[in-house]
Amino acid sequence: MSGVEVQDSDCLLVIDVQNDFCEGGSLAVPQGDEVIDFINTQMPLYKHIVLSQDWHPEGHSSFASQHPGQDPLSIVNFPYDPQTLWPDHCVQGSHGAEFHPKLNTDAAQLIVRKGFRHQIDSYSAFFENDHSTSTGLTGYLHSRGVKRVVCVGLATDFCVRFSAEDAHKAGFETVVLTDGCRGIDIDGSVAAALDALSAMGVTVA
């Protein structure tokens, strides 16, 4: 059970189910692979399906390797916001950037690539981390008559959270299906993310 009665005006947004975020990847989310079967079983229920894909150039500014003396998961100030630094991951054209081979990508009508601008990281499938550079997803969903966005994928406390927040801010009814998400969970960040989403009006199901 998904916890959601699916309507034709719903979109299933599948966030960053890529090799680097799954077992063996450079930024593996604990139990990240566990979401794939659930997501695949949800796909036939939805008329609209969108996949997001982290798509960084080599030497992206969010990589800890580009900041001498800084370790992954440290935080530095960027022009737009404090930015968490990450291991190199999801580099354009690499195996790590590919969708997990068990994910049913054929079901999707659109793939949104994000994080390809060298100086701006992008967690959300709607906006990059400066909160003003749009991916175009909002306009696409409106043009398809989507009213509700149902979020699944990786990771709960980063890309899923920010995507759900932006979907809600864009005026879509928004749901996060926790059975289809796994998080990195830095000092309780998964619980904090779900609490923050619930507080702003996102349904956590």
Residues annotated as catalytic are: 16, 114, 159
How many residues are there in the chain?
Answer: 205
Which residue has 């690539």 as its token pair?
113
Please name which of 198, 145, 157, 143 lies closest in space to residue 175, comparing C-alpha atoms. Answer: 198
Work out the number of other CB atoms within 10 angstroms of the CB of residue 35: 27
Is 125 in contact with 137 (CB distance < 8 Å)? Answer: yes
Rg over CA atoms, the chain:
16
153-170 as b/e: b if 16+ CB within 10 A: bbbbbbbbbbbbbbbbeb
H helix runs in 70-204, sequence order: 137-143, 161-169, 189-200
Strand partners, 33: none
Which residue has 């759900």 as its token pair?
164
